[in-house]
């Protein structure tokens, strides 16, 4: 299989398959889920495969598979929305800072520096203390915090491109700022930005999962993978693997995305370590 002229590696193919399955699960949940996500259908913590429950049941006797499907909807939905917002915010401001420069760049960069001087999880905890936890707040917090990283990358990539002589040629022609960003810079910034989108999605997805795991993210009755790990954690004491199922779901999706990102970065001659 090839993507825009490049042969996919096996790892990247596996990654794409994982992403596809997860997205399909999230989109199709209401149609393919065998039970209702909120109703008790069996005894508590049935192991996978027993009594026809493919992934067993949870701490309230609800079907784990159904909860996983609906959980994918919540977790992926929040992470994806937050990532898209962070890109809209971060890349526009980043490119503006790179092309306009001067005081605008100074101001934006200082703000971003300060935001980045505090660990993301700590900042998220602070905001949640002030605002309380709800899905819009979670999306907003993650989007803003993630956009600082997008800003950094867009600015750096934009600066690299802005000094290219083809951009200078466009300036000398008399082209406007907007045209230069849209036609000269953006097409060349796209490959690194797409790879970064994958990284940032993973980051957002892990953050929302961690917050839910800490009990500060998505609140019941919504199913969400991080929260499911937390709710079922006690099953481990009894030698049952219930919390490992949603935890593995989180791990598999992020590994899948990272496999694709790693392949894309490889094509661009970069590594994940460059973009941290």
Stretch in the footprint of other proteins (CB under 8 A) among 31-39, 79-87, 94-102, 127-135: 127-135
Does 164 help bind other proteins (rule: CB under 8 A)? yes
Instruction: Please name the residue that has the structure tokens 């839910």.
Output: 212
Question: How many other CB atoms sit within 10 Å of the CB of residue 261?
Answer: 23
* 3-state DSSP helix/strand/coil % of the chain, to nearest 5: 75, 0, 25
- Reading the block at residue 73, the tokens are 């909807």
Q: How many distinct helices (H) and strands (E) make up the chain? A: 10, 2
Query: Segment 94-113, which members bind other proteins (CB under 8 A)?
Result: 113
C-beta closer to other proteins: residue 40 or 241? 241
Binding map of other proteins across residues 186-205, x = CB under 8 A, - = no contact: -xx-------------x---
Does 19 help bind other proteins (rule: CB under 8 A)? no
Given candidates 14, 135, 156, 251, which one binds other proteins under the rule CB under 8 A? 251
Stretch in the footprint of other proteins (CB under 8 A) among 44-52, 81-89, 99-107, 164-172: 164-172
Answer yes or no: are the C-beta atoms of 57 and 46 closer than 8 Å: yes
Query: 208-240 b/e with 16+ CB inside 10 Å = b?
Result: bbbbbbeebbbeeebbbbbbbbbbbeebeeeeb
CB 144 → other proteins: shortest distance, Å? 11
CB 164 → other proteins: shortest distance, Å? 5
Binding map of other proteins across residues 207-246, x = CB under 8 A, - = no contact: --xx--xxxx---------x--x---x--xx-x-x-xx--
Instruction: Please name the residue that has the structure tokens 């092309």.
Output: 99
Helices (H), 132-243: 135-162, 165-173, 177-179, 186-213, 225-232
CB 30 → other proteins: shortest distance, Å? 27
Q: How many residues does the chain have?
A: 276
Binding site for other proteins (CB under 8 A): 11, 113-115, 117-123, 125-132, 164-166, 168-169, 171-175, 183-184, 187-188, 202, 206, 209-210, 213-216, 226, 229, 233, 236-237, 239, 241, 243-244, 247-248, 250-251, 254-255, 257-259, 262, 271-274, 276
């Amino acid at each position: 299989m090839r993507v825009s002229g490049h042969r996919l590696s096996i790892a990247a193919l596996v990654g794409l398959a994982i992403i596809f399955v997860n997205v399909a699960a999230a989109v199709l949940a209401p149609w393919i889920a065998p039970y209702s996500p909120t109703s008790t259908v069996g005894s508590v913590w049935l192991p996978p495969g027993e009594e026809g429950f493919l992934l067993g049941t949870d701490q309230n006797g609800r079907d784990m598979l159904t909860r996983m499907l609906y959980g994918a909807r919540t977790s992926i939905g929040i992470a994806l929305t937050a990532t898209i917002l962070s890109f809209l915010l971060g890349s526009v401001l980043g490119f503006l800072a790179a092309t306009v420069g001067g005081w605008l760049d100074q101001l934006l960069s200082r703000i971003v520096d300060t935001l980045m001087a505090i660990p993301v999880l700590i900042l998220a905890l602070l905001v949640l203390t002030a605002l309380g936890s709800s899905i819009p707040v979670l999306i907003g917090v993650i989007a803003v915090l993630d956009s600082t990283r997008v800003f950094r990358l867009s600015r750096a990539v934009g600066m690299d491109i802005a000094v290219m002589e083809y951009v200078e040629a466009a300036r000398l022609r008399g082209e406007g700022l907007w045209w230069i960003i849209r036609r000269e810079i953006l097409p060349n910034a796209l490959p690194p930005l797409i790879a970064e989108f994958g990284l940032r999605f993973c980051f957002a997805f892990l953050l929302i999962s961690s917050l839910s795991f800490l009990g500060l993210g998505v609140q019941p009755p919504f199913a969400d993978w991080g929260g499911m790990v937390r709710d079922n954690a006690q099953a481990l004491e009894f030698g049952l693997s219930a919390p490992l199922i949603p935890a593995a779901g989180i791990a598999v999706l992020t590994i899948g995305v990272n496999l694709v990102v790693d392949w894309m970065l490889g094509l661009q001659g970069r590594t994940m370590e460059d973009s941290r």
